[in-house]
Amino acid sequence: MPLLEVRNLRVEFPTRRGILTAVDDVSFSIDEGEVLGVVGESGAGKSITGTAIIRLIEPPGRIAGGEVLLSGRRIDNLAAEDMRHVRGKQIGAIFQDPLTTLNPLYSIGRQLAETMQAHLGLSDRDARARAIKWLEDVGIPGAAQRIDAYPHQFSGGMRQRVVIALALCAEPKLVIADEPTTALDVSIQAQVIALLKRLCREHGTSIMLVTHDMGVIAETADRVAVMYAGRIAEIGPVRDVVKGARHPYTEGLMGSIPSLAHKVERLRQIDGSMPRLTDIPRGCAFNPRCTKVFDRCLIERPDLMATDGASRAACWLYAGPKEARDAA
């Protein structure tokens, strides 16, 4: 049984132009100890998917359909108080800007200790001792001396390390990391990613890693889901998706990454831009930008299907006999 299973998730936002479908019929799973990378352009639905899983969609946005199961238990329909206990204890979260996670009025140690006391029932003394240990584990120098410092007294990289400790200190089964390294210098990014991998390996935690950085995905993830216009365009083992992309959109993403092995005069690009989510074209949402488009792409929207590789792609290029019969 997968640790996390998302089935046909749909997230909507009412707007003046009508209903904006930010996540449309998205399904995937994450096994215990697995890192699933989720990539795509800005507005593809990556962050909203993660936010929907932990039920932090701001009104008037809403989960309009689908199911979210954690260890076989459905959590998308839990009462607000029950879901609050799931967050932190069973699902941790790391956001892009640590200042949105950390309370500036409380010391780092108090925030860690209160999180552990709320979910693990520790005494004040034990919670403080564990907080110091977590700060040491995430690489905060002089943890015992800095535990009573406030967020503004830490650098950006150190704050992100504290947020990682905060997400993991209650020992959740799953961590949703939303662009955890975007605001950091490249050298600090590498340190934070290595830290996240090590801690999750030691604690057996699964990760849903949301990012637009394929380098981070290639270094960290076991599998990768590529999102486009609110849907999954391709999903599969990270090596297969990076080295042998099957969906034309994924091919474009991979082709736009510079290579040290081959010198090129000009990087490949994907012409055009992603459609507005209130105005998604008929058929495959990628068809206005696709170099391999044909008639069926303009009429029918493809679901994920098996390819000639290890990944699955939502592309009619891989329609098998069953899909051909359905079309007939």
Q: Is pLDDT at 324 greater than 70 in this prediction?
A: no
* Highest mean pLDDT of the ranges 18-32, 193-207, 210-224: 18-32
Return the pLDDT at 41: 87
pLDDT tens per residue across span 90-102: 999 998 877 788 9
Q: At what angle do helices 186-203 and 156-168 cross, to 10 degrees?
A: 10
Q: What is the CA radius of gyration of the chain?
A: 21
Q: Is pLDDT at 189 greater than 50 in this prediction?
A: yes
What values do phi and psi take at 28, rounded to 5? -165, 170
Return the pLDDT at 325: 39
Largest separation between any pair of C-alpha atoms in the chain? 71
Return the pLDDT at 45: 92
Q: Is pLDDT at 328 greater than 80 in this prediction?
A: no
Mean pLDDT confidence for 46-55: 94
- Reading the block at residue 141, the tokens are 């120098």
Residue 90: closest CA among 206, 223, 220: 206
Length reported for the chain:
328
Mean pLDDT confidence for 314-322: 83
**4-227: CATH superfamily:** P-loop containing nucleotide triphosphate hydrolases (3.40.50.300)
pLDDT tens per residue across span 119-163: 998 999 999 999 999 999 888 999 999 999 999 999 988 998 899
Lowest mean pLDDT among 105-109, 121-125, 233-237, 317-321: 317-321
DSSP 3-state assignment of 175? strand
Count the Cβ atoms, other than its own, within 10 Å of residue 150: 15
Count the Cβ atoms, other than its own, within 10 Å of residue 327: 11
- Reading the block at residue 1, the tokens are 């049984």
Lowest mean pLDDT among 8-12, 217-221, 262-266: 262-266
- With tokens 């979210």, the residue in question is 68
Residue 126: closest CA among 145, 107, 112, 105: 112
DSSP 8-state secondary structure symbol assigned to residue 161: H
Q: Is pLDDT at 261 greater than 80 in this prediction?
A: no
User: Which residues are bridge partners to 36 per DSSP?
Assistant: 208, 223
Report whether 31 contacts 223 (CB < 8 A): no
**What band does 322 get if pLDDT is binned at 50, 70 and 90?**
low
- Reading the block at residue 214, the tokens are 């394929």
Contacts of 120 (CB under 8 A, 6+ apart): 127, 170, 171
pLDDT tens per residue across span 160-182: 889 999 998 998 999 999 988 77
- Sequence ranges of the domains in the chain: 4-227, 229-259+280-327
Residue 297: closest CA among 275, 319, 279: 319
Report whether 208 contacts 177 (CB < 8 A): yes
> Which of 289 and 255 is assigned the larger pLDDT?
289
Q: What mean pLDDT value characterizes the chain?
A: 89
Burial class (CB in 10 A: 0-12, 13-18, 19+), 279: exposed
Identity at 5, one-letter amino acid code: E
Lowest mean pLDDT among 46-50, 198-202, 205-209, 265-269: 265-269
